[in-house]
Amino acid sequence: MTKFKFLILVVVLSISVACITTNKKPALAGSDGEQKRSSIAGSPRACDSALLDIVEKQTFQYFYDGAEPVSGMARERIHEDNNYPENDQVIVTSGGSGFGVMAILAAIHRNFISRDQGREQLEKMVRFLETADRFHGAWPHWLNGETGKVKPFGRKDNGGDLVETSYMIQGLLSARQFFKNGDDKDKELANRIDKIWRDVEYDWYRNGKDVLYWHWSPNYNWEMNFPVHGYNECLILYVLAASSPTHGVPPEVYHEGWAEKGKIKGDESYGGYTLHLRHQGNPPHGGPLFWAQYSYLGLDPRGLKDQYADYWEENKNQTLINHQWCVDNPKKFKGYGADSWGLTASYSINGYAAHAPDEWNDLGVISPGAALASLPYTPEYSLQAMRHWYCDMKDRVWGSYGFYDAFSESDNWYPKRYLAIDQGPIVVMIENYRSGLLWNLFMSCPEVQSGLKKLGFSSPALKQ
């Protein structure tokens, strides 16, 4: 019997304890980011840890066993029903693969795979990235995993995607830090990553202005015309642009472009929780929950502050609003509650939607990754949902790569489908909750330290 099979047996034998419900109000993570791991529902901490092992390892397999075999990159989607309407099984995603890089580091750390296995997988990915289509250093959103050629995300979106590229760089820099002091093979990988990072032309994507643009196309130039303003999921874009040692941007690009000279500040409340940043699109109770996750897989929000926000408090409050909306369930959807919550961008009943806690964007669809990748912010609420889905709904919401992307009890809709951009944050944020691994790696980058200071950030992770 393998170690992992034994672990599963232990959890199965003890899971009944974890499924006991009580009226105990769960504790929340403190403002300093300390994870308070008091048991919930009367379950022992050992069972929490065992279940987290299972979820983290099973979800990680999306980026290992499920990876596109030629490139080693993360497939954009995996459908266990084998129904691919666009015949896109070989299409890989640059941003989702960046999350996958971080998931591989977590897997090495947890001994799910060996250091050599992880490095070999990352070497395959880096080799692909070195030769794949790039546009002034930026990869497109989608690539053909067999050829490295761009697959257009839209008619005019057939060139560089600087946001997706930044998610990849966030992962690669974490990997560079992980391997840079290892043996010769480790150091070679770290050096190759460093070159890739230095080749991203963040300054080009200014288009001559004090803002960063999401896209550039060799055919349509700047016709997509998407200057990136906050607040949304793109903070990491500006942090990396300021941090680049070769193509850096000055602070005014952040303050005038992202923060719009202070217009980024806002004041929206729900359920006793307040957001102090104005979310793009002006959603009444905050945007989809991935906005509190994607940029913070490596960028450590604990104690991270600038003149516009306290990012730990902002992310925690966005998560608490999302949770409270599902508990209140004003639209009366079946299954919503303290043990089943989480609204974010995911598959939806009619395709894909950016689910959020408001009258228009709550469609009765729960996305497990929303709650699970919120573990650092709301550990007990997230564990409560994890237990319910694993204990009570596993036959409908669990598959080869962990919890499926989304489901709706109201519509009796349980698609056996996954998306890379939703699976990756689950692994990474579980590991950040448990050890802070990816936060510590990314924040150890000297360029990131300098970039954050240049933009006026403070953080306990910044060296004086």
**For 29-66, what is each residue's pLDDT tens digit?**
544 433 433 333 344 466 889 999 999 999 999 999 99
- Residue 169: partners with Cβ closer than 8 Å, 6 or more residues away: 98, 196, 197, 200, 240
Q: Which two tokens stand for residue 53?
A: 């092992």
What is residue 91's predicted lDDT score, i.e. its pLDDT?
98
Alpha helices in 220-281 (DSSP H): 235-243, 251-252
Q: Which two tokens stand for residue 65?
A: 């066993």
What is residue 258's predicted lDDT score, i.e. its pLDDT?
98
Q: Exposed e or buried b for every residue in 368-395, given b needs 16+ CB within 10 A?
A: bbbbbbbbbbbbbbbbbbbbbbbeebee
CA angle 378, 382, 386 (to 5 degrees): 170
The model's pTM: 0.93
What is residue 2's predicted lDDT score, i.e. its pLDDT?
52
Q: Give 233's DSSP letter.
A: S
Residues in the chain with pLDDT values less than 50 = 3-13, 16-18, 20-27, 30-44
- The domains located in the chain, with CATH, are 69-306+418-455 (1.50.10.140)
What is residue 18's predicted lDDT score, i.e. its pLDDT?
45
